[in-house]
A and B are shown apart, each in its own frame.
Chain A
Amino acid sequence: MQVQLGFDLKLVYFLIISAILFAIGIYGVLTRRHLVHVLLSIELILNAVLINLIAFSSFSTPDKMTGQMFAVFVIVVAACEVGVGLAIILSIYRKRKSIDINNMNILKW
């Protein structure tokens, strides 16, 4: 099935999009104070990586599909990470009544 687009969507465009997403995610991780907000930013970073993987996979090795397989496993690991992270956040909230990341200094020496 061929789709006619008005312009050529090159590989570089997808890579630039993923770089923008990645930079925004890094900024969010570094600046936010809310713990859940940090998790959201990590999701953004993971999605940037996914776009990269799939773009390279379908542009350079479409027969082997290595990138797509890797993307599936990345999604699985991301789901695990969010589940465990939210459980940790819940238990921290129950213990300290706060999810401000500046108060998380229990492990500080």
Chain B
Amino acid sequence: MVIAGKHILHSAFYLAATLLCVAMYFILLRAEYLAAVQILVYIGSIVVLILFALMLTRTKVGEGTNITNNQKIFAALISIILFVSLALVFLYAKIEIVADSASTLKVISIKEFSSILFSKYALPFEIASVLLLAALVGSVVLAMKEKKQEEEEVEREEILEERSNQGSKVGQDLQTGKEVRGDSSIKDNLADSKNVKKGDE
């Protein structure tokens, strides 16, 4: 469903449903904490993030006639081969298992889990937090950079429009006024400076 959905928004919601099912599998495997984390992190944040990105980037690709490229047969072949080989490995490998079925699994308490996480895996935990911080800063930088340029372009267009509307002199004055005032709070001062210039004239 996630892959075959015609519209990308539908497939995002199908992804949420699939992740919920995966969380149910976690509960079956007696990993209740991870099931909660799965629901909170994946469904709560990742799917919502993807929906935001979809709404910010509206294009015709998702709704067009051809949403797949021309590698369909090739990709199907590869995935089928992969699945068959994985299944063969899983069926015939000798895996040492303690419990025979999922109903006899050992219940893992969250107390044990946290004590292991903060004693044996403390360093990876800290590294993960640093990684999260780096990803946060990196994504903000990536998303902000273009925005500034766009704002500058919009301001330039506004100035050009005013120049064409009110004659070249006022426009030049506006631009010099902008340069004197500097980059910060241009938008706020733009209207004020316009009024002042009109009064001068």
Contact = CB atoms under 8 A, between A and B. Distances in A.
B142 A84 contact: yes
Contacts of B147: 94
B86 A19 contact: yes
Counting chain A residues whose Cβ lies within 8 A of the other chain, the interface size class is: 35 or more
Contacts of B49: 82-83, 86
Interface string B57-73: 10101100011110110
Interface residues of B, number: 86
B60 to A, nearest CB: 9
Given A31-B68, A75-B37, A90-B57, A3 B103 contact: yes
Nearest to A63: B106
A75 B80 CA distance: 27
B18 to A, nearest CB: 7
B92 to A, nearest CB: 10
Main secondary structure of the interface of B (DSSP, over half): helix
A24 B79 contact: yes
A19 B90 contact: yes
9 pairs of A and B residues whose beta carbons are closest in the complex: A30-B75, A9-B102, A80-B135, A87-B139, A8-B101, A23-B83, A87-B142, A19-B86, A28-B3
29 contacts: A3-B103, A9-B101, A14-B25, A14-B102, A16-B87, A23-B83, A24-B2, A27-B76, A27-B78, A34-B8, A36-B53, A40-B11, A41-B3, A43-B15, A44-B15, A50-B38, A54-B29, A59-B105, A60-B98, A61-B98, A62-B99, A68-B33, A72-B37, A75-B34, A84-B142, A87-B139, A94-B146, A94-B150, A95-B146
